[in-house]
């Protein structure tokens, strides 16, 4: 915060027209995520026709916002535009590698493939960096319409889509930063992303790709173990090609998205990602709790916000 204050002060001392300030939004109510609460406070304090929001773990370059706004304004029917993300930094821990593989090997390729089929738009928003027309926000009843949702940005995009607006994807990706993620952080990340996918992603247009990939992995692994236990090693090896191909595919997609392959010592992590998934699903369905950005959220059976949530520091 002192760095931001200093940049604002330096700009004003240099005679630049700086229209920026730090806004403290306070603690959210139990039916709002910290992000949604901060977005509502920011929207209420702004006056312009276009409004943009960015997550704190994004590292956008100088062109990201310009291209994002151009993408939004190029389509009269667009209510929002958002930027795809990539994990571009080399991982330093197993947790970092998991985060990179989930983003570069699973979610972003599926989003881009779905958008390509739909002409450059999606029926939801992946809101790491997103811009809205104010009129579109008003048309869906304001940002408050996402209260009770764990994945508020995806829900807002679905509301826009249902009201006849488009959610356009910018051709300019932004980098997401994960550094030094621990094993506990790795588990918490998997819990969050699977909870997000359960409550925020439409089924047929997005999750089907992951379901088919999971079926190939677990089906091949089950057959391989069965054949090995019944004394058919060649058939077991043949069946094992399916899960190994899934692992290789995810590693390859990560390389294509990030522009660099994982260090050899982390090539096995994509296998861990799939093996851990059933345990994470079990935890979500039983504990129904997510730790996210300094707050603990209690979830219902549908991975939406429960009745009681504990707060951390105020969002800025």
Q: Which residue has the tokens 């990602």?
A: 273
Task: Copy the structure tokens of residue 229.
Answer: 């236990």
* Mean pLDDT on 135-161: 92
CATH topology of domain 47-288: Spore Coat Polysaccharide Biosynthesis Protein SpsA; Chain A (3.90.550)
| Alpha-carbon distances, residue 86 vs 175, 204, 249, 258 (angstroms) | 5, 24, 17, 6
| Alpha-carbon distances, residue 134 vs 88, 143, 268 (angstroms) | 32, 10, 45
In the prediction, which pLDDT does 287 show?
61
User: Residue 116, class by beta-carbon neighbours within 10 Å (0-12 exposed, 13-18 middle, 19+ buried)?
Assistant: exposed
* Mean pLDDT on 85-111: 90
* Mean pLDDT on 109-127: 90
Residue 314 above 50 pLDDT? no
Residue 51 above 90 pLDDT? yes
Question: Which tops the pLDDT comparison, 208 or 313?
Answer: 208
Measured between alpha carbons, how far is 115 from 122 in angstroms, rounded to an integer?
5
Sorted by sequence, the CB contacts under 8 Å of residue 56 that are 6+ apart come out as 293
Question: Which tops the pLDDT comparison, 158 or 186?
Answer: 158
The helix/strand/coil state of 169 is strand
- What pTM was estimated for this model as a whole? 0.83
What order do you get walking across the sheet with 78-82 strand by strand? 50-54, 129-133, 78-82, 166-169, 121-122
187-240 pLDDT, tens digit per residue, is 777 776 676 666 556 656 677 888 889 999 999 999 999 999 999 999 999 999
Most confident of 71-75, 149-153, 296-300, 308-312: 71-75
DSSP bridge pairs for 122: 167
Measured between alpha carbons, how far is 154 from 157 in angstroms, rounded to an integer?
5
Assign residue 46 a region (left: φ > 0; alpha: ψ between -120 and 50; beta: otherwise).
beta
In the prediction, which pLDDT does 285 show?
66
Residue 301 above 70 pLDDT? no
Measured between alpha carbons, how far is 294 from 51 in angstroms, rounded to an integer?
25
In the prediction, which pLDDT does 230 show?
94
pLDDT category, 149, cuts 50, 70, 90? confident
* Mean pLDDT on 122-130: 92
Task: Copy the structure tokens of residue 73.
Answer: 């304004």
235-286 pLDDT, tens digit per residue, is 999 999 999 999 999 999 999 998 888 999 999 999 988 888 887 777 666 6
Domains of the chain by residue range = 47-288
* Mean pLDDT on 141-163: 90
Task: Copy the structure tokens of residue 46.
Answer: 């702004």
Question: How far is C-alpha 9 from the geometric centre of its chain's CA atoms?
Answer: 33
Question: Which tops the pLDDT comparison, 315 or 179?
Answer: 179
* Mean pLDDT on 128-142: 97
In the prediction, which pLDDT does 148 show?
83
* Mean pLDDT on 180-190: 76
């Amino acid at each position: 915060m002192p760095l931001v204050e200093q940049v604002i002060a330096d700009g004003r001392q240099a005679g630049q027209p700086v229209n920026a300030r730090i806004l403290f939004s306070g603690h959210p109510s139990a039916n709002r995520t910290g992000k949604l609460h901060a977005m509502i406070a920011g929207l209420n304090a702004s006056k312009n026709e276009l409004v943009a929001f960015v997550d704190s773990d994004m590292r956008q370059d100088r062109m990201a916002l310009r291209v994002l706004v151009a993408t939004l304004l190029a389509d009269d029917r667009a209510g929002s535009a958002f930027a795809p993300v990539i994990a571009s930094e080399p991982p330093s821990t197993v947790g970092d590698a998991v985060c990179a593989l989930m983003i570069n090997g699973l979610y972003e390729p599926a989003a881009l493939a779905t958008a390509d089929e739909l002409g450059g738009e999606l029926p939801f928003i992946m809101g790491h960096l997103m811009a809205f027309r104010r009129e579109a926000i008003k048309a869906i009843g304001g940002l408050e319409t996402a209260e009770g949702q764990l994945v508020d940005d995806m829900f807002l995009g679905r509301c826009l889509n249902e009201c006849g607006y488009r959610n356009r994807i910018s051709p300019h990706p932004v980098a997401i930063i994960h550094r030094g993620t621990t094993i506990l952080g790795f588990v918490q990340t998997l819990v969050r992303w699977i909870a997000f996918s359960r409550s925020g992603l439409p089924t047929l247009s997005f999750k089907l790709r992951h379901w088919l990939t999971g079926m190939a992995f677990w089906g091949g692994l089950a057959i391989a173990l069965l054949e090995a236990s019944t004394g058919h090693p060649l058939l077991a090896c043949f069946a094992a090609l399916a899960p190994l191909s899934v692992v290789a595919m995810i590693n390859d997609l990560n390389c294509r998205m990030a522009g660099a392959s994982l260090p050899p010592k982390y090539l096995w992590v994509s296998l861990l990602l799939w093996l851990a998934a059933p345990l994470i699903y079990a935890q979500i369905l039983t504990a129904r709790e997510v730790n996210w950005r300094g707050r603990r959220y209690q979830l219902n059976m549908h991975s939406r916000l429960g009745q009681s949530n504990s707060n951390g520091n105020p969002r800025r």
